[in-house]
Amino acid sequence: MFILKNVQYKAIIAVDELHIPAQKTTCIVGESGGGKSTLIRLLNQLISCDKGEIFYKNQPIHTLDPIQLRREVVMIPQAPVIFDGTVKDNLLIGLTFSGKPLAGENELTDVLTTVCLEKELAEPAGPLSGGEQQRLSLARALLMNPEVYIFDEPTSALDEETEKKVMDNVVGEVKRKRKTLIIVTHSKKVAQTYADVVIEMKNGSAATVKKGVKKNG
C-alpha cells in the first residue's frame, strides 16, 4: 500500500526502504522520540519528505491531491480531536469532511458498540473522559470507512480489559472490510496480538521485525 524509498525528513527520519502492505495490520513500535508519529504524518502528507519518494498504491504521494489522500488515508492523532456538540455531531463530522452520505441512528449506535462506548448520541461530547474521547474518535474513523486507517496510540488511555475489547472489535471490523490498518503503539501486547507486520523505529530509521507470522493474518 505504501513504499518508502530513501526517505529523509529533517534529521528525524532516514528510511532506506520500507513496505507497508495493503489489507494487513502493521504496528509501528519503538522508543519515545524514535520518529513513529513523524513517519505516519508523512503517509497522509501532513508533512512532506525532504529527500526520497513515498508511493501510495504505486503513485508518488506528492503527485496526489492531499485532501483526496486524507479521505482515503484517515489518521487519528495521539490526542483525540473532539468538536463542540454531541456524540452524534462528533460521529457525523467525519462523514461531512469526507463528503460521504450521513449515517442513520442505527449505524451510529452500532459503531459506538464496536468501540465499547456506552453513551447516548444526544450527550455532549466535551465532558467525555480521555479514554472515551479516544473511542469516539475511533468510531468516527470507522464510520468514514477509508482505505487506510492510521491510529496513533489509539488505546493509550484505556484499561487493559477495555483495550482488548476495543482492539478485538476494531481490528476485526477493519479486517472484515479488507482495509489497511497502521497502528503506532507502545504496547508490546497490542503489537504481539494484532500485528501482521511490526516495524521498529529507532533514531528515525525503520526495520521490519516481524512479518507474516501471525495466524488469521
Ligand X SMILES: Nc1ncnc2c1ncn2[C@@H]1O[C@H](COP(=O)(O)OP(=O)(O)OP(=O)(O)O)[C@@H](O)[C@H]1O
* Contacts to ligand X by CB under 6 A: 10, 12, 30, 32-38, 201
Residues 117 and 139: beta-carbon distance below 8 Å = yes
Give the full edge-to-edge strand order of the sheet including 148-152.
Answer: 73-76, 148-152, 180-184, 25-30, 197-202, 205-211
Residue 3 burial by CB count (10 A; 0-12/13-18/19+): exposed, middle or buried?
middle
Q: Extract the runs of DSSP E, i.e. beta strands, from the chain.
A: 2-9, 13-20, 25-30, 51-56, 59-60, 73-76, 148-152, 180-184, 197-202, 205-211
Q: Which is nearer to ligand X, 42 or 103 (CB)?
A: 42
Give me the least distance between CB of 205 and ligand X, in Å please.
Answer: 12
Q: Which is nearer to ligand X, 28 or 61 (CB)?
A: 28
Residue 136 burial by CB count (10 A; 0-12/13-18/19+): exposed, middle or buried?
buried
The three-class DSSP label of residue 61 is helix
Give me the least distance between CB of 198 and ligand X, in Å please.
Answer: 14
Cell numbers that stand for 181 in this block: 490498518
Q: Which is nearer to ligand X, 94 or 131 (CB)?
A: 131
Residues 35 and 203: beta-carbon distance below 8 Å = yes
Give me the least distance between CB of 10 and ligand X, in Å please.
Answer: 6
Q: Which is nearer to ligand X, 147 or 152 (CB)?
A: 152
Give me the least distance between CB of 187 and ligand X, in Å please.
Answer: 12
Give me the least distance between CB of 206 and ligand X, in Å please.
Answer: 11
From residue 8, alpha-carbon distances to 3, 47, 54, 66, 152 in Å are: 14, 12, 10, 19, 21
Q: Which is nearer to ligand X, 7 or 144 (CB)?
A: 7
Give me the least distance between CB of 84 and ligand X, in Å please.
Answer: 27
Q: Which is nearer to ligand X, 33 or 60 (CB)?
A: 33
